[in-house]
Chains A and B, each alone.
Chain A
Amino acid sequence: MRLPPGRLIRSRVLSDPRTVFADALDRELTGYATLESQDTLLLDGDGNGVVTFEDGVPVVVYHTGADRGGPRALADLAANGPYRLELFATEPANLAAVHDCEAWQVPPGMPAERLAGDQDLAERTRAAAPDGRTSDTDEDDEASGDRSSDRVGAVEAFLEDEAKVEAIREQAREDARRRADEWGFDVD
């Protein structure tokens, strides 16, 4: 994926990807966000996530480490915050080539719903989407260009990534043990 040049409008480290989608929507951003995981403990520490926006509505999601786009790339982005976020504005024409790749597109509300877990933000995003992109209910992955023969939503792709899930679980077990000491719980 070749990203067009853009004007950096925001750069910060954040723990919740919701912020990205809420911020882009509020700004009615045309441009893209890059998300770089700061957690090198988890497996997807390599590579960045990219989300493009048109008037604040997500269009394409891509992960450079996993080298895939669409709903599956949302899974690559999941659950490994904090992230370094950089938000870039660009001209719509600069994104045309990227947006032409249908397989990388996601339904407008899907990132907010599946990645950020925020139904209200997903509804707001759908409401802001142009007519041509509002047929999806985000329950219909076909609308994303994710073909019915390859119909694996972001949540399912996440659950199929056993190595990643195991990394999350192992991290939680370590946290639980470490905090047991801090909190005075007696754990075997």
Chain B
Amino acid sequence: MVEAFAVASGKGGTGKTTGTLALGMALSEAYDVTVVDADMGMANLLFHAGLADVETTLHDVLADGGVPVEAAVYERHGMSVVPCGTSLADFRAVDPARLREVVARLAADTDVILLDSAAALSSRAAVLPVVLADRVVVVLEPTIPALSDGMKVQEYATSYGTGTAGVVFNKVRDEEAIDRIAAKAGRYFEGPTLATVPESEAVRAARRAGEPLLAHAPESRAAAAFHEAADAIDVRDYESGAVADRFRSAVVPESP
């Protein structure tokens, strides 16, 4: 079984990468989880996951004549992690459409794929994870631009046949107002509010330490909230081979 989720926000700074790794670690208690940094132009998951020094990344897999994806899979914190490099020159050399084949190969051997997606909808490479995923998890801050951009992500997802697993309100400072905001936002989002995650110094400390939040501060309220979000996701039981075929035959053409 496997289901692929794009963790997306449409706007930078909402804590999407922190959320991707936190959801991944929480889900890894029940599932075999693979996390892919699919933010190919602005990768940063490697810094969050203690993988800043690794040799082989997704860029090497997606390059012309690239290495097999297995060479860029690292076992960390109970998950399989595929980091992406940060070199813009390397990014320019990749064919983002090959992500489809990468996801198809990973799908054969995992339960859950989380694609950390670009904080933009401005290019084909940025939107591709949303196209490939079965469903999106939308990470929102309770601000107007974040909500607006989150809605745009959902509309893109829906337009490309991708569902919405739910929304996570992150960096919540006004815990009294968030329930009202979440209820009102719920009218516009297809999935449920999976959790509201409080603004937390633990998140910044984890980032500085180069560790996922759930490894660095497992007892923090933010970590507990991400556990709650993971518990609220009903991972669907697609048959792996069929899913791999679906990714291979996905709507993306071969050449960029």
Contact = CB atoms under 8 A, between A and B. Distances in A.
Nearest to A77: B144
B159 A177 contact: yes
Interface in A129-188: 137-139, 153-156, 158-160, 162, 165, 168-169, 172-173, 175-177, 179-180, 182-188
Interface stretch (B28-36, B41-49, B178-186, B219-227): B178-186
A113 interface: yes
Contacts of B176: 139
A155 B159 contact: no
B237 interface: no
A175 B180 CA distance: 30
A51 to B, nearest CB: 14
Interface in A67-85: 74-75, 78-79
A74 B131 CA distance: 33
Interface stretch (A4-12, A24-32, A86-94, A115-123): A115-123
A184 B159 contact: no
B145 interface: yes
Contacts of A114: 143-144
A156 B184 CA distance: 7
B156 A176 contact: yes
Contacts of B159: 173, 176-177, 180, 187
Interface in B146-173: 146-148, 151-152, 155-156, 158-161, 171, 173
A188 B151 contact: no
B161 A188 contact: yes
B181 A155 contact: yes
Contacts of A155: 142-144, 147, 177, 181
A139 B177 contact: yes
Contact of B151 (A74, A168, A180): A168
Contacts of A119: 171
B251 A113 contact: no
B124 A160 contact: no
Contacts of B124: 179, 182-184
Contacts of A168: 148, 151-152
Given A78-B144, A114-B144, A117-B143, A169 B151 contact: yes
Most B C-beta atoms less than 10 A away, residue of A79, A137, A154, A162: A79
B144 A172 contact: no
8 contacts: A114-B144, A117-B13, A159-B147, A159-B184, A159-B187, A169-B155, A182-B124, A185-B131
Interface of B: 11, 13, 121, 124, 127, 131, 141-148, 151-152, 155-156, 158-161, 171, 173-174, 176-177, 180-181, 184-185, 187-188, 251-253
